[in-house]
Structure 1
Amino acid sequence: MISGQETRDRFREVLGSDVGDEFYGLYCDYHDAQVLFEEYRVLFGNPKDVNMLNAIGGRFFGLIQQIMQDSLILFITRLTDRPTMGGHECLSIRILPLRIKDDQNREIPDRFRDPEWVKKLDELVKKAKKKAKYARQHRDKRIAHHDRDTTIPYESASPLKPLNIIEVKHALKRICIVIYYVLAKMEPGTHFLNTLVYQSGAGDFLAHERLRIELLLTIGSHVDSEINPNTPFYRRANSVFDRFNVDLSRLDSETRSKYMELFRDFEWEVKGFRDKGVS
Structure 2
Amino acid sequence: MISAEEKRCLCIQEMGAELGAMYCDLNDHLLDILLIWRQYEQLFAVDEKTVHLLNATAPAFFGVIQAQLWDSVMLGISRLTDRPVSFGNKTLSIQALPELVDDSNVRDKVEIAVTKALSDADFARSHRNKRIAHNDLVHVQNRAGNALPGASREKIREGLQSIIAVLEILNGHYRESTMLYEDMISDGGAARLVAVLRTRSGEDYK
- Is TM-score (shorter-chain normalized) higher than 0.5? yes
What are the within-5 Å matches in structure 2 for residues 140-151 of structure 1? Answer: 140-151=129-140
Structure with greater contact order relative to length (CA < 8 Å, sep ≥ 6): 2
Shift of 1:153: 4.2
Q: Does 1:80 align with 2:81?
A: yes
Shift of 1:90: 0.4
2:109 alignment counterpart: 120
Tell me which of 166, 171, 174 is aligned to 1:186: 174
Report if aligned partners of 2:18, 2:100 keep a CA contact under 8 Å in 1: no
1:265 alignment counterpart: none
Q: Does 1:63 align with 2:94?
A: no
What are the within-5 Å matches in structure 2 for residues 32-181 of structure 1? Answer: 32-45=32-45, 46-101=47-102, 113=103, 115-153=104-142, 157-181=145-169
2:4 alignment counterpart: 4
In the aligned structure 1, how far is the partner of 2:36 from the partner of 2:122? 20
Q: Deviations over 1:167-203 (max 9, x none)?
A: 11110000000111110111113xx523433223101
Q: Aligned Cα RMSD in Å?
A: 2.0
Q: Unmatched 5+ residue regions in structure 2?
A: none
Structure 1 residues 171, 148: closer, same or farther in 2, change over 3 A?
Answer: same
In the aligned structure 2, how far is the partner of 1:163 from the partner of 1:146? 18
Equivalent residues, number: 203
| Partner SS, residue 193 of structure 1 | coil
| Partner SS, residue 62 of structure 1 | helix
In the aligned structure 1, how far is the partner of 2:152 from the partner of 2:179? 28
Report if aligned partners of 1:39, 1:200 keep a CA contact under 8 Å in 2: no
Structure 1 residues 173, 153: closer, same or farther in 2, change over 3 A?
Answer: closer
Report if aligned partners of 2:98, 2:107 keep a CA contact under 8 Å in 1: yes
2:39 corresponds to which letter in structure 1?
Answer: E
Report if aligned partners of 1:81, 1:90 keep a CA contact under 8 Å in 2: yes
In the aligned structure 1, how far is the partner of 2:140 from the partner of 2:147? 6
| Partner SS, residue 163 of structure 1 | coil
Report if aligned partners of 1:151, 1:159 keep a CA contact under 8 Å in 2: no
1:202 alignment counterpart: 190
2:125 corresponds to which letter in structure 1?
Answer: R
Structure 1 residues 187, 144: closer, same or farther in 2, change over 3 A?
Answer: same
Report if aligned partners of 2:123, 2:150 keep a CA contact under 8 Å in 1: no
Shift of 1:74: 1.1
TM norm structure 2: 0.91
1:188 corresponds to which letter in structure 2?
Answer: E
Shift of 1:162: 4.7
Taking every aligned residue pair, what percent have the same amino acid on both sides?
Answer: 31
In the aligned structure 2, how far is the partner of 1:84 from the partner of 1:19? 16
Q: Deviations over 1:36-57 (max 9, x none)?
A: 1111111101211111100111
| Partner SS, residue 173 of structure 2 | helix
2:201 alignment counterpart: 213
2:164 corresponds to which letter in structure 1?
Answer: C
Shift of 1:20: 1.7
1:60 corresponds to which letter in structure 2?
Answer: F
In the aligned structure 1, how far is the partner of 2:26 from the partner of 2:142? 40
TM norm structure 1: 0.68
1:80 corresponds to which letter in structure 2?
Answer: T
Shift of 1:83: 0.6
| Partner SS, residue 176 of structure 2 | coil
